[in-house]
């Protein structure tokens, strides 16, 4: 057709158009990143001598890790694991129970403005601080032991679960909600018939996921005195019983894996 009649000269160079169109912005981003990395690495302050000392130490560490020794500290390991599990269960249940009202209040399409503000504030506050910091203060207030860990994990659960619940409610299908509202249902009936069925499946999945997180976190609240397996782990490290520590870590991994399978199974079932 036309190309046969008039042979055109086509360019033989082509460059992919850059992601960021403005040249100066692109270059200053690259430049900024390079400078940041240079300064960042510069302030790492690595004590290379200490690190090189650490390599044989790491090898000893690893060889002490294998084979893991479950038996010599079996009583305290079992005790710690069980304590972690109890803590996990009750803090997940209590946390979720508290999350439901907070989450409903923090959903923009459900709650009046003042309630919304208060609930959002609660969520933001309980989300900010890592579980460990919450645990430090819980230990100061409630004394050593699993109760402090329970309080810390429950607060963290509220921050996590209420936020996701509120977001899920905000994302729900408004048509279904409108249909139920148009029947003249009261607010509670409306929540029960329009909101609950829509958010339930995902929320059950998230509850199991949070159970999983709480179990993992229960290992660290123990480091600051919040009870559970963390305390046992810290003792093992302090006494240089790395084989026991390895056993504890493997048990944690195994339980988390089990929980992951359980949550996968449960999510398939409810969806």
| Integer Cα distance of 103 and 109 in angstroms | 12
> Within 13 Å of residue 67, how many CA atoms lie on the same side as its CB?
4
Q: Which is nearer to another protein, 108 or 140 (CB)?
A: 140
CB 221 within 8 A of CB 228: yes
Options 110-118, 162-170, 171-179, 211-219: segment touching another protein (CB under 8 A): 211-219
Q: Which is nearer to another protein, 44 or 175 (CB)?
A: 44
| Integer Cα distance of 191 and 172 in angstroms | 12
| Integer Cα distance of 264 and 209 in angstroms | 9
- Report the residue from 234, 241, 266, 267 that binds another protein according to the rule CB under 8 A: 234
**Which of the residues 12 through 41 are near another protein (CB under 8 A)?**
12-17, 36, 40-41
Q: For the chain, what percentages of helix, strand and coil (3-state, to nearest 5) are there?
A: 80, 0, 20
For the chain, state the CA radius of gyration: 27
x-or-dash string of contact with another protein, 67-86, rule CB under 8 A: ---------------xx-xx
- Report the residue from 68, 70, 78, 89 that binds another protein according to the rule CB under 8 A: 89
* Shortest distance in whole angstroms from residue 214 CB to another protein: 12
| Integer Cα distance of 238 and 50 in angstroms | 20
Please give the structure tokens belonging to residue 84: 């972690």
* Shortest distance in whole angstroms from residue 177 CB to another protein: 21
Q: Which is nearer to another protein, 47 or 178 (CB)?
A: 47
- Report the residue from 170, 173, 178, 260 that binds another protein according to the rule CB under 8 A: 260
| Integer Cα distance of 65 and 62 in angstroms | 5
**Which of the residues 135 through 154 are near another protein (CB under 8 A)?**
136-137, 140-143, 145-147, 150
Three-class SS of residue 22? coil
Please give the structure tokens belonging to residue 2: 């036309």
| Integer Cα distance of 107 and 199 in angstroms | 12
- Report the residue from 176, 237, 241, 267 that binds another protein according to the rule CB under 8 A: 237
* Shortest distance in whole angstroms from residue 112 CB to another protein: 25
Q: Which of 177, 159, 158, 176 is nearest to 109 (CA)?
A: 177
The residues of the shown chain that bind another protein, judged by CB under 8 A, are 1, 3, 8, 10-17, 36, 40-41, 43-47, 50-51, 53-54, 57-58, 61, 82-83, 85-87, 89-90, 93, 128-130, 132-133, 136-137, 140-143, 145-147, 150, 216-217, 219-220, 223-224, 227, 233-234, 237, 245, 249, 252-253, 256-257, 260
């Amino acid at each position: 057709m036309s190309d046969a009649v008039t042979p055109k000269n086509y360019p033989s160079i082509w460059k992919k158009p850059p992601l960021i169109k403005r040249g100066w912005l692109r270059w200053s981003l690259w430049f900024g990143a390079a400078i940041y990395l240079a300064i960042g690495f510069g302030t790492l302050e690595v004590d290379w001598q200490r690190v090189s000392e650490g390599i044989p130490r790491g090898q000893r560490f690893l060889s002490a890790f294998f084979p893991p020794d479950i038996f010599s500290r079996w009583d305290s390991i079992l005790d710690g694991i069980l304590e972690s599990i109890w803590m996990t269960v009750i803090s997940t249940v209590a946390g979720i129970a508290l999350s439901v009202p907070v989450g409903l209040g923090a959903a923009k399409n459900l709650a009046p403005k003042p309630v919304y503000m208060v609930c959002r504030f609660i969520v933001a506050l309980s989300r900010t601080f890592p579980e460990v910091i919450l645990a430090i203060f819980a230990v100061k207030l409630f004394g050593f032991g699993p109760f402090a860990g329970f309080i810390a994990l429950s607060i963290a659960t509220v921050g996590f679960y209420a936020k996701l619940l509120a977001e899920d409610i905000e994302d729900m299908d408004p048509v279904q909600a409108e249909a139920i509202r148009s029947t003249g249902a009261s607010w509670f009936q409306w929540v029960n018939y329009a909101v609950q069925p829509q958010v339930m499946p995902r929320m059950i999945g998230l509850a199991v996921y949070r159970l999983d997180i709480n179990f993992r976190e229960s290992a660290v609240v123990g480091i600051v005195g919040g009870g559970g397996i963390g305390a046992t782990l810290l003792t093992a490290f302090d006494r240089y019983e790395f084989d026991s520590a390895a056993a504890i870590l493997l048990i944690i991994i195994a339980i988390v894996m089990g929980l992951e399978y359980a949550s996968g199974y449960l999510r398939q079932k409810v969806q």
